[in-house]
Amino acid sequence: MDLGALYEEVILDHNRSPRNWGEIPGAKHVDGTNPLCGDRISLSVQVDGDVITDIRFTGEGCAISKASASMMTQAIKGKTRQEAEALFERFHDLVTGRSKETPPDKTLGSLRAFAGVARFPTRVKCATMAWHAMREATGNRP
């Protein structure tokens, strides 16, 4: 199997230099963890009305979880909660292989780099950990 399919250059880049790294004082905090491996992410999210105006993260984890968190924050910032949820669903389909039969989802933009995760079932959790934390922080997941 081609490792490049998993470790796309953009993923390695976000792993090396994560974007939106840090905390937002006074914002809502949610921790995501993967109890299997002990990876954790700390997300702070600022929501004004329905719009996610700012989102940052810290934590430790593998390249997939770190890059996924970094690229998620970029993709989500400025979106409404509903848009964020819709994006999550498309991303989830991508990394679980559910969207395999359909043409590449252009609306995902650079997030399509995570398509290779679908061939590594043990790594799906790494790719979705930050997204689940985001959904909790924005009230999209009870």
Partner 1 sequence: MTTITERSGAIPARATALDVDRIRADFPILGIRPRGHPLVYLDSAATSQKPRQVIDALRRYYEEENGNIHRGVHYLSELATTRYDETREAVRRFINAASVNEVVFTRNTTEGINLVASSYGQAFVRPGDEIVVSLMEHHSNIVPWQLLAQRSGAAVRAVPVTDIGELDLDAFESMLGPKTRIVALSWVSNSLGTVNPVKRIVEMAHARGIPVLLDGAQAAPHLPIDVQSVGCDFLAFSGHKMLGPTGVGVLYARGDWFDRLPPYQGGGDMIETVTIEKTTYAKAPSKFEAGTPDIGSVAAFRAAIDYLERTGLDAIHRHELALLEEATARVASLPGIRLIGTAPGKAGVLSFTMEGVHPHDIATILDQQGVAIRAGHHCTQPLMARFGCGATARASFYLYNTLDDVAALVAGLEKVREVFA
The binding site for partner 1 (CB under 8 A) comprises 1, 3, 6-7, 12, 16, 36-40, 60-64, 66, 120, 122-123, 126
Burial of 106 (0-12, 13-18, 19+ CB in 10 A): exposed
Query: How far is the C-alpha of 132 from the C-alpha of 142, rounded, in Å?
Result: 11
- Nearer CB in complex with partner 1: 15/20: 15
| Minimum distance from residue 125 beta carbon to partner 1 (Å) | 10
Q: Do 10 and 110 touch, CB atoms closer than 8 A?
A: yes
Nearest CB to partner 1, comparing residues 47 and 133: 133
Q: Which of residues 6 and 95 has its CB atom nearest to partner 1 in the complex?
A: 6
CB of 123 to partner 1, least distance (A): 7
Give the bridge partners for 47, in sequence order: 52
φ, ψ dihedrals at 17, nearest 5°: -130, 80
Least spacing, CB of residue 71 vs partner 1, in Å: 16
Nearest-approach distance from CB 85 to partner 1, in angstroms:
27
- Which of 125, 140, 139, 138 minimizes the C-alpha distance to 41? 125
Q: Please say which residue, 50 or 60, places its beta carbon nearer to partner 1.
A: 60
Contacts of 36 (CB under 8 A, 6+ apart): 125
